Amino acid sequence: MTIQENVPLAPLTTLQVGGAARYFAQAKREDEVRETVDFAKTRQLPLFVLGGGSNLVVADSGWPGLVLRIAIGGITSPSLQGTSGNSVLFSVGAGVSWDEFVAQAVAQNCAGIECLSGIPGSVGGTPVQNVGAYGQEVADTIESVCALDIKENRAVVLPKPACGFRYRSSIFNRIDDTGQLGRYIILQVNYRLKRGGAPSLKYADLQKHFADVKTTPSLAMVREAVRQIRRSKGMLLVPGDEDCRSAGSFFKNPVLSEEQFHDLAARAQSKGLEIPSYPALEAQHKVSAAWLVEHSGFAKGFRLGRAAISKKHALALINTGDAKASDVVQLQETIQNGVRQSWGTLLEPEPVFVGF
Ligand X SMILES: Cc1cc2nc3c(=O)[nH]c(=O)nc-3n(C[C@H](O)[C@H](O)[C@H](O)COP(=O)(O)OP(=O)(O)OC[C@H]3O[C@@H](n4cnc5c(N)ncnc54)[C@H](O)[C@@H]3O)c2cc1C
User: Could you list the residues that contact ligand X (CB under 6 A)?
Assistant: 14, 49-56, 70, 94, 119-122, 124-126, 128-129, 131-133, 172, 185-186, 235, 237, 244, 246-248, 352
What letter does residue 77 receive in the DSSP assignment? -
Query: From the CB of 263, what's the least distance to ligand X, in Å?
Result: 28
The question of whether 168 is a catalytic residue gets the answer yes
Q: Please report how close the Cβ of residue 107 comes to ligand X at its closest, in angstroms.
A: 21
> Dihedrals φ, ψ of 301, to 5°?
90, -10
Q: Which of 117, 249, 296, 310 is catalytic?
A: 249
Residue 96 amino acid letter: V
For residue 231, indicate whether it is catalytic.
no
User: How far apart, in Å, do the first and last CA atoms of the chain sit?
Assistant: 28
| Closer CB to ligand X, 133 or 256, in the complex | 133
DSSP letters, 263-327, are HHHHHHHHTT----EEEETTTEEEE-HHHHHHTTT--TT-EETTEEE-SS-TTEEEE-SS--HHH
- Nearest distance from C-beta of residue 214 to ligand X, angstroms: 29
Q: Please, which residue, 62 or 248, has the CB nearer to ligand X?
A: 248
117 is catalytic: no
- Least Å distance, CB 46 to ligand X, is 12
Contact 48, 24 (CB under 8 A): no
Tell me the C-alpha distance between 207 and 119, whole Å. Answer: 20
d(CA 183, CA 175): 9
Q: Of 263 and 350, which CB lies nearer to ligand X in the complex structure?
A: 350
Residue 187 beta carbon to ligand X: minimum distance, rounded to whole angstroms: 7
Using the minimum distance from each CB to ligand X, give the nearer residue, 119 or 222.
119
Annotated catalytic residue: which of 34, 69, 168, 230?
A: 168
Q: Tell me which DSSP letter residue 122 carries.
A: B
Task: Using the minimum distance from each CB to ligand X, give the nearer residue, 244 or 255.
Answer: 244
Nearest-approach distance from CB 37 to ligand X, in angstroms: 12
What size, in residues, is the chain?
356
| Active-site position among 35, 242, 294, 350 | 350
Contact 199, 111 (CB under 8 A): yes
Nearer to ligand X, 217 or 248 (CB): 248
How far is it, in rounded angstroms, from Cα 172 to Cα 165? Answer: 9
How far is the C-alpha of 210 from the C-alpha of 225, rounded, in Å?
A: 9
- Nearest Cα to 172, choosing from 135, 190, 145? 145
Question: Among all residues, which ones are annotated catalytic?
Answer: 168, 249, 350
